[in-house]
């Protein structure tokens, strides 16, 4: 799983909140889809700028992530760089686009584990669950460090 951080958790929750409030959502649009919305939050770029960056190379987010090169100079690779700097992995971004990360799906209630990748409410649930898992991980890291600090005293 991605590197837990308050910044990443905040970005996931902000993205979910924006979608809940009715932000334009269109799964087939590179700037308004699952990854596109998270990219908007992290980069502060508009959906149009992200979509335009994606048009320099073929394919959807999964294909763009597969072909990603940090030295290409391509605009979407620079967007992906910023997302990776938040601690997200390329695999997690690919899973976000299809709502398919097994750890996140297992954390959902049994009756909600069959998410549709192009449904706003399912994306919101996925983002909140991912943030919850990262928050739990961060809390356990903090508790572990606290215990280690007490042992060293």
pLDDT in tens, 74-100: 999 999 999 999 999 999 999 999 999
Q: 1 in a domain, yes or no?
A: no
Does residue 36 lie in a domain region?
yes
Residue-range definition of the domain harbouring residue 109: 6-152
Is residue 77 situated within a structural domain? yes
The reply to whether 107 falls in a domain is yes
Number of domains in the chain: 1
Q: Tell me whether residue 103 is in a domain.
A: yes
> Does any domain span residue 33?
yes
Q: Output the CA angle 79-50-74, nearest 5 degrees.
A: 50
For residue 20, give both structure tokens.
């809940």
The answer to whether residue 94 is domain-embedded is yes
Give tens-digit pLDDT for 26-51. Answer: 998 999 999 999 999 999 999 999 99
Q: Which two tokens stand for residue 59?
A: 């394919």
Question: Is 0.85 surpassed by the pTM of this model?
Answer: yes
């Amino acid at each position: 799983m991605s590197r837990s951080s308050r910044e990443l958790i905040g970005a996931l929750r902000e993205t979910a909140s924006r979608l809940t409030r009715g932000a334009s959502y269109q799964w087939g649009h590179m700037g308004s889809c699952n990854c596109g919305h998270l990219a908007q939050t992290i980069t502060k770029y508009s959906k149009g700028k992200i979509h335009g960056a994606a048009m320099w190379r073929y394919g959807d987010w999964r294909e763009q992530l597969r072909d990603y090169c940090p030295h290409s100079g391509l605009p979407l690779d620079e967007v992906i760089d910023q997302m990776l700097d938040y601690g997200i992995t390329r695999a997690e971004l690919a899973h976000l686009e299809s709502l398919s990360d097994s750890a996140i799906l297992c954390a959902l209630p049994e009756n909600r584990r069959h998410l549709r990748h192009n449904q706003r409410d399912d994306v919101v649930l996925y983002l909140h669950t991912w943030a919850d898992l990262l928050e739990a991980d961060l809390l356990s890291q903090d508790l572990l460090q606290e215990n280690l600090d007490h042992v060293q005293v």
